[in-house]
């Protein structure tokens, strides 16, 4: 394994156990090191510090181990076993609840790796070149840990790796016809990882969707940025009178319609392909419950200010328009906008509109999207439930 030395004093970073080493911290030239290659990080004197993947760019090394050990099959087996044990403990691999995030990158000490699980099918998504190169070992570890509970493993990393990498999206083990039906709290969802966004489903809203169910009985609900209609399904299943689902993607709306077909319900449902930002700006119809779950408005810090303004506008439109006594579920998945900044944006929206607004709940990403104490950047999803009078 090639060695990369850190500049003098930079080894202090390692005491904080942060899994990223930025290029500016390196003393050694990395010219002879390949994209995704495993490297040993040393301090300026050559003493061992950690093992990780090298990747040209701002995050130069992603750390896999702070111990001097080989990154062999048993390493992957141990990591996957511990990630799966947590999801089992959380009750996410049961008959009625079998959709979960099995590996959440840094939160599971596997920087650059996402694995989502849909009732027997694991989707591996690499965000680091080194992870992509180890996909077969990761697949073997999944087979070993999950045994007969695993029917297929699909690798989907084309969209998440740099363009220079020739990644193929394909099955690494078994095969599964899509759409595939999996269950979340007993609700069936039709999931297609081959053509859907991300790995096919927004698993991170599970607990918030369940909470929405308890606010839905007899209500008229507007679900904006709905993707495959997760919130709509919970609303209808819990007795909503009428639900409107809006997404700008036609494909997403097709998924909503498929999921609606899987559900028995009495209320009314309407699917709408539209720009939800514009739709909320022009909204005249009245609703009792509004869900605002837009894609990340800011992907970089330099867009944060603009994003905060956009959250304020979007939330102001919902607060202005909702029926008295209405409930708003509002979210931000922009990692660069922290929970406090998001809450401020919503409070500013309330001030702008001038109605009485109470914050009932602070919402987060669920426990199968854990945040490592050494990588607080892993926190990205935040939300609020508002009561408006
Ligand atoms: N709430 C969803 C996840 C939302 S993800 C769930 O529970 O599954 C964000 C969604 O916003 C995506 O489906 C994307 O297609 C959609 N989207 C992005 N820009 C949009 C826009 N301007 N108007 C409407 N939908 C948009």
Spell out the alpha helix ranges (H) of the chain: 12-15, 73-89, 129-133, 135-146, 206-213, 230-237, 250-261, 276-282, 304-321, 339-353
Is the CB of residue 99 less than 8 Å from the CB of residue 182?
Answer: yes
Q: What is the mean pLDDT of residues 207-211?
A: 98
Q: Which CATH number fits domain 2-65: 2.60.40.10, 2.30.130.10, 3.40.50.2000, 2.80.10.50?
A: 2.30.130.10
Q: What is the mean pLDDT of residues 214-227?
A: 98
Would you say the CB of residue 250 lies under 6 angstroms from ligand 1?
Answer: no
pLDDT band at 148 (very low <50, low <70, confident <90, very high): very high
202 CA closest ligand 1 atom index: 8
* Contact residues for 263 (Cβ-Cβ < 8 A; gap 6+): 187, 188, 233, 236, 237
For 272-303, write each residue's pLDDT tens digit.
Answer: 999 999 999 999 999 999 999 999 999 899 99
For 65-101, write each residue's pLDDT tens digit.
Answer: 999 999 999 999 999 999 999 999 999 999 999 999 9
Residue 254 has pLDDT above 90, yes or no: yes
Would you say the CB of residue 20 lies under 6 angstroms from ligand 1?
Answer: no
Q: How far is CA 364 from CA 64, 121, 253, 329, 331, in A?
A: 26, 26, 25, 12, 9
Exposed/middle/buried for residue 205 (C-beta within 10 Å: 0-12, 13-18, 19+): buried
Cα 254 to ligand 1 centre (Å):
13
Domain boundaries for CATH 3.40.50.150 within the chain: 202-388
Task: Quote the distance between the C-alpha of residue 356 and its chain's center.
Answer: 32
Residue 183, strand partner residues? 188
pLDDT band at 232 (very low <50, low <70, confident <90, very high): very high
DSSP 33-48: SPTT-EEEEE-TTS-E
The pLDDT assigned to 14 comes to 78
Domain boundaries for CATH 3.30.750.80 within the chain: 73-177
202-388 — its CATH code? 3.40.50.150
Distance, CA of 385 to CA of 315 (rounded, Å) = 12
> Given the DSSP bridges, would you call strands 2-5 and 152-155 parallel, antiparallel or unpaired?
unpaired
Which protein residue's CA is at the shortest distance from atom 10 of ligand 1?
A: 225
Cα 244 to ligand 1 centre (Å):
14
* Contact residues for 177 (Cβ-Cβ < 8 A; gap 6+): none
Would you say the CB of residue 329 lies under 6 angstroms from ligand 1?
Answer: no
pTM of this prediction?
Answer: 0.97
Domain boundaries for CATH 2.30.130.10 within the chain: 2-65
Which protein residue's CA is at the shortest distance from atom 9 of ligand 1?
A: 295
For 151-198, write each residue's pLDDT tens digit.
Answer: 999 999 999 999 999 999 999 999 999 999 999 999 999 999 999 999
**Domain 73-177, CATH class in plain words:** alpha beta
């Amino acid at each position: 394994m090639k060695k990369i030395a850190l500049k003098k004093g930079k080894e202090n970073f390692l005491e904080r156990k942060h899994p990223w080493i930025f290029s500016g911290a390196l003393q050694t030239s990395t010219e002879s090191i390949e994209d995704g290659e495993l490297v040993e990080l040393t301090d300026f004197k050559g003493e061992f510090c950690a093992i990780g993947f090298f990747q040209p760019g701002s995050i130069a090394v992603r750390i896999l181990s702070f111990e001097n050990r080989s990154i062999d099959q048993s390493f992957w087996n141990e990591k996957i076993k511990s990630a799966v044990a947590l999801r089992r403990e959380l009750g996410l691999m049961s008959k009625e609840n079998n959709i979960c995030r099995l590996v959440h990158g840094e939160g599971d000490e596997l920087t650059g790796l996402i694995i989502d699980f849909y009732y027997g099918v694991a989707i591996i998504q690499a965000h680091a070149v080194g992870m992509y190169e180890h996909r077969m070992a990761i697949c073997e570890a999944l087979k070993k840990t999950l045994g007969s509970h695993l029917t297929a493993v699909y690798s989907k990393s084309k969209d998440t790796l740099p363009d220079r990498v020739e990644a193929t999206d394909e099955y690494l083990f078994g095969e599964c016809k899509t759409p595939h039906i999996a269950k979340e709290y007993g609700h069936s969802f039709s999931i297609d990882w081959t053509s859907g966004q991300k790995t096919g489903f927004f698993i991170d809203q599970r607990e918030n969707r369940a909470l929405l169910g308890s606010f839905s009985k007899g209500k008229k609900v507007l679900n904006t940025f709905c993707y495959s209609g997760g919130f709509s399904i919970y609303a209808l299943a819990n007795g909503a009178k009428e639900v409107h689902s809006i997404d700008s993607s036609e494909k997403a709306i097709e998924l909503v319609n498929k999921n609606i077909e899987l559900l028995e319900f009495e209320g009314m449902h309407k699917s709408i392909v539209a720009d939800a930002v514009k739709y909320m700006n022009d909204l005249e119809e009245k609703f009792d419950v509004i869900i605002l779950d837009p894609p990340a408005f800011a992907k970089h810090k330099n867009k944060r200010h603009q994003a905060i303004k956009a959250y304020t506008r979007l939330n102001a439109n919902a607060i202005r328009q909702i029926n008295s006594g209405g409930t708003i579920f509002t979210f931000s998945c922009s990692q660069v906008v922290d929970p406090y900044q998001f809450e401020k944006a919503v409070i500013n929206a309330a001030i702008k509109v001038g109605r009485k607004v109470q914050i009932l709940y602070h919402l987060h990403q669920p426990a199968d999207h854990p945040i490592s104490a050494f990588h607080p950047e892993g926190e990205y999803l935040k939300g609020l439930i508002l009561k408006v009078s």
